[in-house]
Structure 1
């Protein structure tokens, strides 16, 4: 009987310890309540298909996670990797060569008219690789606030660079991982994302958009009249006017997407390609208005917390947010798609985690 009493006390103490842990153990996030839109799921314009299932796998020289991709006028294909390199494929090659190591975690890429390659490096900030292959650190803060998570960028026809700083709270370098920093920001939903304008002619920068829930992909129309910006944590895409009567104004052009939008890149014939890196997570939507519970969830072991699911999905929209194409692979053979870029007869699809770069034939996709 005495042993049973001792056992009962031990169980009570253990239960109380677990309760206290989930109620009070400090975590990095202070979740904020918000109202998630009802998930429409994969229907209508987003009805499931397997159009991404058949692709040519381009060798990434032993590296993985070709998150950002760009193609130059000579036909060289450039991609960024988790290992901290910008790698490239010579025209017609199916195996990449390591080209420039940034010393951080490069993500978004774009080229200017002179052939310089601009890089959004999540650990460092805005970088430039000149035509001689020399690396320059260009911008590490804006409006007096350090750039903690440089994510994507676009160079407009007038030479200005527009950079997304995904989170001014959760530093990708401090966390040691772009992926885990993104999970923290989305779990908190604190609207720490911003868009930065940088003018290489004056070396001046300014913040033009704020209060975004994980500011991610950014691109521009061919004339440079407006930007399209992916707001990952809110499942939507913004249009920000750079010129004309509405200069400085912004509006949502497509929202309530069935997944988390990552990069967005201008394609051909008025298309803009955005990657949905993962389907939406019901637990996050269901707990949107319950910040206390989200904080408790953050105290779970990492493998039990919400995370990206393997599902291939890229979407083409026009400048007004109308869906033109939805290419999917529900089996996730090419997982966690971050975006796509058109070049000649091919469509190159990027990924957060894949060990290869995917290349598809546009003719087979009816593009």
Structure 2
């Protein structure tokens, strides 16, 4: 019996030492967060996003970003690294390009080039003849580690979110894994970058964001709307800002939508002045409570992933106007279509972006 007790004691000491001392990749920062607003008011629970119609992607997974090109075709990026091109109804599918990395957001410039935020390679241009060119992969010698969202302005300038300067997907197991690490750490190293193809100059517009994600332009082209995924909010900032640190008050960057009910992901301009925003996941009460407890987040990192406070699946997209009014809220509490990251709107359909769905979901309007 004595040996058994000694053995259990030794095992317990090893377990405690592991939970307290085992090396982990994050250095958590304390962040008190406001109480969750819950699904009330304009976000009251509904099922308007349930029972989506599906386009079979022929084995491809995760239509993370969806947009129509100047050729009238629907383009989408998927987990395999392919960029698919098809007709609006899903017919005529083909692989348009594969950069050898992982393209997340993209847009088209006036010349018909697909401008891609490749999370492994930086900002790329893919010509109609499928030639791939690296436009920029660094700012003042500092690598762009996690290119995420991109939008092309009418004057040709390109605005790119570099989600994290700490966790590059190519080094940390992919886009999802590195995003989890960045949000758990809360060092807020995300930034917004401008690339001017006329001068080939790359500069920082703003920094200090906790996982900088979706980017959209205001209708007048003077402001950017930016999703800060790790802190449940949307910023509005001047495109003319230079190396602005959002951690310090500045009239050139203000919180536009705050304390949202989930992790905001992508932003897409819709019809009639709307901007669509998707939530990859709803907020988790346990995860929120851990935000101001760095030590407990360290311990959590050492637990099996099955014990992490991972938010449940919950489909949720909203649309807002530039005056901050929520004008649409679509939900599916079952989460049947996982990680709804945005909406691409046409006159007769809403196409639903997703990180991991096995197909492309859409709703008739």
The answer on 1:315 being equivalent to 2:318 is yes
Q: After the TM superposition, which segments of 4 or more aligned residues of structure 1 sit over 4 Å from their partners? A: none
Match of 1:344 among 344, 347, 352: 347
Deviation of the 1:136 alpha carbon? 1.2
Secondary structure, counterpart of 2:298 in structure 1: helix
Match of 1:23 among 16, 20, 24: 20
Deviation of the 1:179 alpha carbon? 0.4
On the 8 A contact 1:157/1:222 being kept in 2, the answer is no
- Aligned counterpart, 2:293: 290
- Segments of structure 1 that go 5 or more residues without pairing to the other structure are 363-367
Secondary structure, counterpart of 1:261 in structure 2: strand
Q: What is the distance in 2 between the residues matched to 1:243 and 1:183?
A: 31
Match of 2:330 among 327, 331, 337: 327
Q: What is the distance in 1 between the residues matched to 2:324 and 2:291?
A: 25
- Aligned counterpart, 2:277: 274
Q: What is the distance in 2 between the residues matched to 1:243 and 1:90?
A: 37
Deviation of the 1:91 alpha carbon? 4.2
On the 8 A contact 2:205/2:240 being kept in 1, the answer is no
- Segments of structure 2 that go 5 or more residues without pairing to the other structure are 242-249
On the 8 A contact 2:56/2:90 being kept in 1, the answer is no
Secondary structure, counterpart of 1:87 in structure 2: strand
Q: Structure 1 residues 95, 64: CA separation in 2 closer, same or farther (over 3 Å shift)?
A: farther
Q: Structure 1 residues 346, 203: CA separation in 2 closer, same or farther (over 3 Å shift)?
A: same
The answer on 1:56 being equivalent to 2:59 is no
The answer on 1:249 being equivalent to 2:252 is yes
On the 8 A contact 2:55/2:89 being kept in 1, the answer is no
Deviation of the 1:283 alpha carbon? 1.6
- Aligned counterpart, 2:177: 180
Q: What is the distance in 2 between the residues matched to 1:297 and 1:270?
A: 43
- Aligned counterpart, 1:131: 128
Q: What is the distance in 2 between the residues matched to 1:30 and 1:337?
A: 29
- Aligned counterpart, 2:219: 222
Match of 1:355 among 345, 349, 358: 358
Q: What is the distance in 1 between the residues matched to 2:25 and 2:91?
A: 42
On the 8 A contact 1:120/1:127 being kept in 2, the answer is yes
On the 8 A contact 2:205/2:239 being kept in 1, the answer is no
Secondary structure, counterpart of 1:14 in structure 2: helix
What per-residue deviation string (whole Å, max 9, x for no partner) do you get for residues 23-63 of structure 1?
A: 11000001000111100111101001111113221122311
The aligned length equals 357
Secondary structure, counterpart of 1:119 in structure 2: strand
Q: TM-score, normalised by structure 1?
A: 0.94
Deviation of the 1:343 alpha carbon? 2.1
Q: Structure 1 residues 28, 163: CA separation in 2 closer, same or farther (over 3 Å shift)?
A: same
Deviation of the 1:248 alpha carbon? 7.9
- Aligned counterpart, 1:190: 187
Secondary structure, counterpart of 1:79 in structure 2: strand
Q: TM-score, normalised by structure 2?
A: 0.95
The answer on 1:201 being equivalent to 2:204 is no
Deviation of the 1:224 alpha carbon? 1.1
RMSD of aligned Cα (Å): 1.5
